[in-house]
Copies of this chain bind each other. A is one copy, B any other.
Amino acid sequence: MTPKVSRFLRDAAPATPCLVVDVDRVAENYGRLKAAMPLARIYYAVKANPAAPILGRLVDMQSCFDAASLEEVRLCLDAGARPEDISFGNTVKKESAIQAAYAAGVRMFAFDSEPELRKLARSAPGAKVYCRILVGNVGAEWPLSKKFGCEVEMARDLMVMARDLGLDPYGISFHVGSQQTRTAAYEAAIARVAMLFTDLKDAGINLRMANLGGGYPVRYRAEVPEIDAFGAAIMGAMVEHFGNALPEILIEPGRFIVGDAGVLSAEVVLVSRKEQDDPVRWVYLDIGRFGGLAETEGEAIKYAFRTPHDGGAEGPVTIAGPTCDSTDTLYEKSNYRLPLALDCGDRVELLSTGAYVTTYASQGFNGFAPLAEHYI
């Protein structure tokens, strides 16, 4: 928690639940990543947190943007981004969305299938396109499935087809999974991309771009590698496979840029036991999985807690949200412990909650209003 967030929570005591984001920290994180990977162009993954103050600050720092939808493209433009700095990174788009983004000046699009490529040829003629390939996600705390990307052989054929359809076959992308804590996943993926570059050169196509996706980890409960070491390992793999002929390098960080800039302030609604001698207390907060903490599904992302009683004796807890849905339980198996003195009405903070929280919030499940947000 940055001193600015801490002061704001103390002085303003905003109604809970709410997210407080230190926008200066966002800028610092951008700077740290830029320093760790100076050759890479940063496309901020807008879906991580599309708030206008964040997008505005990143525009000031000359960031580019990775948009998941036409609506996100518009948010970037509204924040002052130039259309040529926006990549429409969802490989699954309505053709009407492609048309509208193209009309707004967007010229870079992702795809991973022939039908999508044909939509792009019709509705974004001449645009730069990049194909997403499937890669391993071992080491990621929020791994991805096969939902996005195609096999390498298909990617090769599709890039040839892209040229034949009048598009600009620009590059290859992959994603190693979010909150990826190992560099080996990047190294293996980069090797596949390099092979594709070679294969396609033989077919007369000179790819110019490698999009390394996102996944750079944030510290929650456990330590994660430093971004400098991460960046060095990734750039080492690029040099190993591409030598002096490095392509343009794009990265799409989301969590890394905004995650630790945000703190969620919540209230304890109830602390109870299921039977008299049960050692485990149930702690119910006024925010849960449907109020924004969607990434606690399967207890994947393990947020760290601060309470007013930290330092006192602790005991095991199950932590749950406020709705009548019992899947709205955050942590039951992850060995969370909280102070025995914790009680109804206490305010607690969940750290590093700046990413993938606000927009997930349900519009009103069980009647609860969406999460309030403060950008300072």
Contact = CB atoms under 8 A, between A and B. Distances in A.
Contacts of A157: 276
A170 interface: no
23 contacts: A47-B365, A50-B367, A71-B368, A71-B369, A72-B366, A74-B367, A90-B324, A92-B269, A92-B322, A93-B269, A93-B270, A94-B267, A94-B286, A112-B272, A115-B343, A119-B344, A145-B327, A147-B329, A153-B275, A294-B362, A358-B363, A359-B363, A362-B362
A119 to B, nearest CB: 7
Interface in A36-62: 46-47, 50
Interface in A64-109: 67-72, 74-75, 89-90, 92-95
Given A115-B343, A147-B282, A149-B274, 20 more contacts: A46-B367, A71-B364, A71-B367, A90-B366, A92-B322, A93-B270, A114-B272, A115-B271, A134-B274, A143-B326, A144-B326, A146-B274, A148-B324, A148-B326, A150-B272, A150-B274, A153-B276, A154-B273, A290-B294, A362-B362
Nearest to A148: B326
Contact of A69 (B148, B149, B272, B368): B368
A137 to B, nearest CB: 9
A258 interface: no
A339 B272 CA distance: 51
A155 to B, nearest CB: 10
B359 A365 contact: yes
A299 interface: no
Contacts of A143: 326
A contact residues, range: 35 or more
A275 B92 contact: no
A134 to B, nearest CB: 7
A323 interface: yes
B47 A367 contact: yes
A90 to B, nearest CB: 5
A74 B113 CA distance: 49
A116 B366 contact: no
A273 B70 CA distance: 24
A346 interface: no
A115 B346 CA distance: 14
A332 interface: yes
B344 A154 contact: no
